[in-house]
Amino acid sequence: MPEKVDSRLRSQIDALGLHGVANVHHNLSVAALYERALTAEEGHLAADGQFVVETGEHTGRSAKDKFFVREPGSETHVDWGETNKPFEAAKFDALFARVADYLTGRDIYAMDGYAGADKRHRLPIRIVSEFAWHSLFARDLFIVPDNLPDGFSPEFTVVDAARFSAEPERDGTRSGTFILVHFGRKLVLIGGTRYAGEIKKSIFTVMNYLTPLRGVLPMHCSANIGERDKDVAIFFGLSGTGKTTLSADTHRPLIGDDEHGWSDNGVFNFEGGCYAKVIKLSQKAEPEIWAASHRFGTVLENVIMDPESRTLNLDSEAKTENTRSAYPLEFIPNMVPGSMGGHPKTIVMLTADAFGVLPPISRLSPEQAMYHFLSGYTAKVAGTEKGVTEPTATFSTCFGAPFMVHHPTVYSKLLGERIAQHGVTCWLVNTGWSGGPYGVGKRMAIAHTRAMVNAAIEGRLASATFRKESFFGLEIPNDVPDVPDSVLDPRNTWSDPAAYDAKAKHLAKLFAENFAKFEAQAAPAVRAIAIHP
């Protein structure tokens, strides 16, 4: 079926510098993208209609290959350092020209849409790719209306030339892979990797830069809403802390599972889809994600599939432990229509403390919430990475350090203002170990954690009495409905209290060392409650 040629679109593509491309396949339907991707042998059709792809060498993000172009409009806003590394503007222009030459005579795909469910704060975007399946991924993950307005023009464009590899000595990159963000030209240039997560996270990075300048707090979190009271709860947490699991509640529809903004109007999802990790995905434990991952229109990355029956083996790590499923929000039945909610009533900060010393639940003052937001603590356990033989503390500021562009205190200040303005109750929840560190103690029972989180969100701890522990200044409730009192104070769960004290002092010291990076710029009230062992 012939495609309509949009002269305005073609002019915009030419203006980018991609005037040599052959055909621009614009906003194709899911079925049309399947046809083109299958014809080009980009992947395979699975038994239930999913599109299964291999991403090759890169099965996750290439964080060390991400750079920001140093240019006058943004350089004073960027928190330059190990995460936000500078790239020369002239080198970017030269590399973009080489990518344009590479794409000359080739067909490309352009998917238009938005980042941000709130029309007052959404960002018009265009994803340009050489793979049809990358365009399908963009259709699944971003907000793509059935009818875009006449005269749609993207504010930011991603150009993904997945099969083009850079030459580091010539191009100034670290390797053949590159993710280059140019705020001046409003461009993201990606190459040398087929991993589609780079597209998703590059737009999140852009939102993390733009929205604070517009008075909106960007958040790496999940969010849900009460069916009866319409009360919003948000969940911060790094991988493995239970962010997705605890925010998935049949009685509380989901606003989103990963990226949100908090404006003067409330919370809104940045995305129009989900990018779920599916290793060892269970139909019984996570039926909604399982069902969404077994539908026509879903993209599966690096999942093992039987070549004859085309059935999936979701337990296999043969290609990677980071197997992924990308699907639109409409595939999840318990979603909030419009992906927006009011101002949060509750904030839950999740950590999986493998040292076994943090309380399973504790109430945070606004200043403590800002402190723990800056800290973004969790812990890796032995065996999760090569060379990790004992629990290792991990601090990812704002629970999303790789995507934060401004100095961390910019985000924590916005969070503190929102908490104060709306009287938000904040909690720190430890989904990690109790009774001892990893290898000695046991992981906190999910039933107990869920009961604690539900009690906090539903306001059933409002009249509880609290006691303050001595190492982190945290307030521990004396009683939580449906949770044994014996598990609430972590020191009491250890057989050797002196060993607990030593481990708690060790972790408190790690917190203090990490906070030293932000102390000079942190608010005085936050510095006043900082942990000093």
Distance, in Å, from the CA atom of 63 to the CA atom of 238, rounded to the nearest integer, reads: 16
Helix (H) or strand (E) holding 18: none
The phi and psi torsions of 348 (rounded to 5 degrees) equal: -115, 120
Catalytic, 506? Answer: no
Helix (H, G, I), strand (E, B) or coil at 255: strand
Helix (H) or strand (E) holding 135: helix 132-141
CB 155 within 8 A of CB 124: yes
Q: What angle, rounded to 10 degrees, do the helices at 197-213 and 132-141 form?
A: 40
Catalytic, 324? Answer: yes
Options 139, 324, 345, 380, the catalytic residue: 324
Catalytic, 201? Answer: yes
Distance, in Å, from the CA atom of 136 to the CA atom of 107, rounded to the nearest integer, reads: 15
Options 258, 325, 396, 431, the catalytic residue: 258
CB 218 within 8 A of CB 187: no
Please count the other Cβ atoms lying within 10 Å of the Cβ belonging to residue 2: 4
CB 441 within 8 A of CB 433: yes
Distance, in Å, from the CA atom of 108 to the CA atom of 394, rounded to the nearest integer, reads: 40
Q: Per-residue DSSP letters for 28-79?
A: --HHHHHHHHHHTTS-EE-TTS-EEE--TT-SS--GGGEEEE--TTTTTTS-
Catalytic, 353? Answer: no
Distance, in Å, from the CA atom of 461 to the CA atom of 362, rounded to the nearest integer, reads: 11
Catalytic, 165? Answer: no
CB half-sphere exposure, 70, CA atoms < 13 A: 10
Catalytic, 239? Answer: yes
Options 121, 182, 220, 372, the catalytic residue: 220
Options 239, 316, 365, 392, the catalytic residue: 239
* Per-residue b or e along 281-297, where b marks 16 or more CB atoms closer than 10 Å to that residue's CB: beeeebebbbbbbbeeb
Total count of residues recorded for the chain: 533
CB 234 within 8 A of CB 245: no
Please count the other Cβ atoms lying within 10 Å of the Cβ belonging to residue 149: 8
Catalytic, 365? Answer: no
Options 74, 177, 241, 244, the catalytic residue: 244
Q: Which residue has the tokens 């039987």?
A: 306
Options 26, 36, 61, 345, the catalytic residue: 61
Question: Who's near 364: CB < 8 A, 6+ residues apart?
Answer: 349, 372, 426, 427, 428, 474, 475
CB 202 within 8 A of CB 63: no
Options 243, 252, 418, 448, the catalytic residue: 243
> Could you give the dihedral angle defined by the CA atoms of residues 69, 70, 74 and 78, in that order, rounded to the nearest 10 degrees?
90
CB 137 within 8 A of CB 196: yes
Options 134, 139, 201, 380, the catalytic residue: 201
Catalytic, 252? Answer: no
Distance, in Å, from the CA atom of 476 to the CA atom of 488, rounded to the nearest integer, reads: 7
Distance, in Å, from the CA atom of 452 to the CA atom of 430, rounded to the nearest integer, reads: 10
**Any idea which residues carry the catalytic annotation?**
61, 201, 220, 239, 243-244, 258, 324
